[in-house]
Amino acid sequence: MKTTTKLWIGLGVLAILTPIGLYLPKKFKAGSAWGEWGAEEMHGLVGYVPHGLRKLGSLWNAPFRDYSFKGWENLGLGHLSLAYVVSAVLGIALCVGLALLLGRLLSKKESRR
């Protein structure tokens, strides 16, 4: 089997395993990463929400915020895991598409088949 084939399979396995990245922080009751708090969390930390953070924090409404679906935020860990895996597959597909496009544009022409 070609090495790249194995690496593609590896990516698929990683996508399926991504819910580990949800379970572990939940299990150890870890909060947000440092500097990635929402406005409410920030209020709890310093007693106010900095003006710029309030203004810019909602600047962009990402379609799959937090690797989840709209309205799924409060469903159980099972649903969140499913959304997480779907997000991983979607994200991998888009990264591959964009990188292939850039790579084709940039790579050396003489070795192109």
Partner 1 sequence: MHIPDGYLGPITCGVAYAAMVPAWIIASRRVKKTLAARQVPLLAIGAAFSFVIMMFNVPIPGGTTGHAVGAVLVAILLGPWAACIAVSVALVIQALLFGDGGITALGANCFNMAFVLPVTGYFVYRLISGNSPVKSFRRVVAAGIAGYAGLVIASVCAGLEFGIQPLLHHTASGQALYCPYGIKVAVVSMVGGHLLFGFVELAVTSLVVKFLQVQDPTLLGHNREAAS
With vertex at residue 46, the alpha carbon angle to CA 43 and CA 41, rounded to the nearest 5 degrees, is 35
Largest CA distance in the chain: 61
State yes or no: residue 59 binds partner 1 (CB under 8 A): yes
Contacts with partner 1 in 28-57 (CB under 8 A)?
28-36, 42, 46, 48, 50-57
State yes or no: residue 74 binds partner 1 (CB under 8 A): no
Q: What is the DSSP letter of 48?
A: S
Element (H, E) at 86: helix 77-106
Rounded Cα distance between 35 and 44, Å, is 13
Q: How far is the CB of 76 from partner 1 (least distance, A)?
A: 18
Instruction: Please give the residue ranges that form the binding site for partner 1 (CB under 8 A).
Output: 3-4, 6-8, 11, 14-15, 17-18, 20-22, 24-25, 27-36, 42, 46, 48, 50-57, 59-67, 84, 87-88, 90-92, 94-100, 102-104, 106-109, 111-113
